[in-house]
Structure 1
Amino acid sequence: MRAMGGDQVEEAVTDAVATLRKVADRDWSVKAGRLDWSCRRTAEHIASDLIAYAGQIAGRPTDRYVPFDITFEECESPEDVLQVIEATGTLLAAAVRTAPREARAFHPYPFRSANREGFAAMGVTEVLAHTHDIAEGLGIPYEAPAALCEDVLTRIFPHVRPAPGSDPWQTLLWATGRGDLPGRAPLTGWRWNNNLVIPADRLTLQGVTPAAAADLRAGGTGGFAWTEDGPFEGTRDAAGMVTKAYEAGVHRPEFGLFVLVRIEDGRAVGGMGFHGAPAEDGRAEVGYDLAESARGNGYAAEALRALSAWALSRDDVTSLFATVDRANAPSQGVLSRAGFTRVSGEGGDGQGEGEGEGEGEGEGEGEGEAGEQYAYELRG
């Protein structure tokens, strides 16, 4: 998996500035594309966002933006503003590179925080989208690098289905309300979607992006630092389901896969998540697994309690359920300790992101035959 970080920020800024520097001698007071801003105001906005994101991931506030601003009173020409964009891009790239993997800071959309990959992806998106606006306003062609577009689409636009027959740049323009795609209505409003992180006592449950899911499915780490025997096969199966849902345009990131990361050392120890979005009656299925070396420590029950509390606090979730082989006593114990109650002797169809949920925290998957399952439920 190609990492999302400082290199991508620098690539986006270098490409954008090279394009815009060719027309730095023109009148930048003209309107920038579909925006109400002028080209100069739009360029200033790019630099302001880059420095703001650098400040966030460097300062790591949890409830607001770092209270500082950048002014452009000394910028007399478009070339002056482009130099500020170069400088602020370098600052964001450096802040992202030096931030620890687990660092997060406030950002309002949609779950009020972002990690270093998120701030890098947001910075790249701002550069690409607004360079398009300025280029359109000045009447010059601009096409963003396809790899950069795919990088941001698979990290902060998990809700946007890849457009068949369209390249990533076309899809990103549509996703940011700047272009048209066959068969899709134009967007009049849009938001990107940073990954959801749910805290537990000793763990964090970190939402898996489509980029990370594809890497996990292919045998990679998904960008996580795993314990020595992780990830378990159930997590890779679940990642495959995330990838399929994303490609089909039905992925709901908050009801996807989460990786369980130990706070004390930043090591990933397992996976947990949903089989999909809640049904019309608000019922959702959960599944989980742990690397064998992490079992027996109460991690799965702790994470399941946190995930359940988050889910049942929502208006669209009324109950959760899980199925487990009758022979898998450790996993039954996980469900009981998380507050689930056994409701029947037969479970669901065993499909979806919870494959491997019977691994539990002890001996591993039970040897029960098909149909020999218990169903457990937790109501809000």
Structure 2
Amino acid sequence: METVRNPETLAPVTTERLLLHPLGAVEAGRIAAREPGAGDRWAEGYPGDADVAVAGRVLDRVAAQGGPGVFGAYEIRRRADGVAVGGIGFHGPPDEEWYVTVGYGLVPGARGRGYATEALRALLAYAREQGIAGAKGDADLGNVASQHVMEAAGMRYAGEDERVRCYRVEFAPAT
């Protein structure tokens, strides 16, 4: 099982244009309250309802385990200006097959620029570095943009029900 580490001790995951900043209790508290701190830079519309819900789950994990650990939530920030434009992360620790479930979202003003795909690719690579066997995700049937993000990040269609399309990626064992 995962060793729970404080997000403040985890390095951010970086991409060419983005920084995936691990959420700790203090930041999660500000997001849950929708009250930015002195150093926070938030895009219009951030945090959204989903970000607030995720922040609440981070706070729950802090209370129960001392921290969300590696498989927690990350704030998506633009590297150029440090502005938070959304969130991405894991729904929790790996399951019994050693798969993680991922989720993400961007404020409307940041969509259509490839940020979600860039962030998801980085998060999947990070999961693989942690020894994860693969990842799962889903998108509402009508959310074609999110379906395209998962496909562009290397996830493949794995089925659907009356509400969502499911995606999955398996990581090849390290050689």
TM over 0.5: yes
Deviations 1:131-175 (A, max 9, x none): xxxxxxxxxxxxxxxxxxxxxxxxxx738xxxxxxxxxxxxxxxx
Q: Does 1:325 pair with 2:140?
A: yes
Q: Percent identity?
A: 33
8 A Cα contact 2:34 2:47, kept in partner: no
Contact 1:272 1:289 survives alignment (8 Å):
yes
| Residue 210 of structure 1, CA deviation | 1.1
* Separation in structure 2 between the aligned mates of residue 253 and residue 312 of structure 1, nearest angstrom: 16
- Aligned match of 1:244 in 51, 56, 60? 60
Query: 1:273 and 1:220 mapped to 2: Cα distance?
Result: 21
| 1:308 and 2:124 correspond | yes
Q: What is the root-mean-square deviation of aligned Cα atoms in Å? A: 1.7
Secondary structure of 2:70 counterpart: helix
Measure, in 1, the Cα distance between the counterparts of 2:54 and 2:68: 14
Aligned: 1:259 with 2:84: no
Of 22, 34, 50, the match for 1:219? 34
**Superposition deviation, residue 249 in structure 1:** 1.6
Bigger proportion of residues as helix: 1
1:272 aligns with 2:88: yes
Q: Which has the larger radius of gyration?
A: 1
Aligned match of 1:11: none
* Cα separation, 2, equivalents of 1:253 and 1:231: 21
* CA displacement 1:340-373 (0-9 Å, x = unmatched): 1010113xxxxxxxxxxxxxxxxxxxxxxxx411
- What CA distance in whole angstroms lies between the structure 1 residues aligned with 2:49 and 2:55? 10
Instruction: Choose the corresponding residue for 2:100, options 252, 273, 284.
Output: 284
CA contact (8 A) 1:288 1:300 kept: yes
1:378 matched to 2:169: yes
Q: 3-state DSSP class of the match of 1:293?
A: helix
Kept in 2: contact 1:258–1:273 (CA 8 A) = yes
Q: Of residues 142, 151, 155 in structure 2, which corresponds to 1:336?
A: 151
Does 1:229 pair with 2:45? yes
* 1:259 Cα offset (Å): 0.5
Q: Which of 196, 204, 212 is residue 11 of structure 2 equivalent to?
A: 196
Displaced runs of 4 or more, over 3 A: none
Counterparts of 1:51-62 in structure 2, within 5 Å, are none
Which structure is higher in strand share? 2
Q: Shift in Å at residue 250 of structure 1?
A: 6.6
CA deviation map 1:312-354 (0-9, x unaligned):
1222x101001111111011111111111010113xxxxxxxx
For CA contacts below 8 A with separation 6 or more, give which structure has more relative contact order.
2
Question: Partners of 2:157 and 2:92 in 1: how far apart?
Answer: 21
The TM-score with structure 2 as length reference comes to 0.88
Query: Contact 2:24/2:67 (CA < 8 Å) preserved in 1?
Result: no
Structure 2 counterpart of 1:206, one-letter code: H
The AA in structure 1 aligned to 2:165 is: Y
Name the SS of the counterpart of 1:279 in structure 2: coil
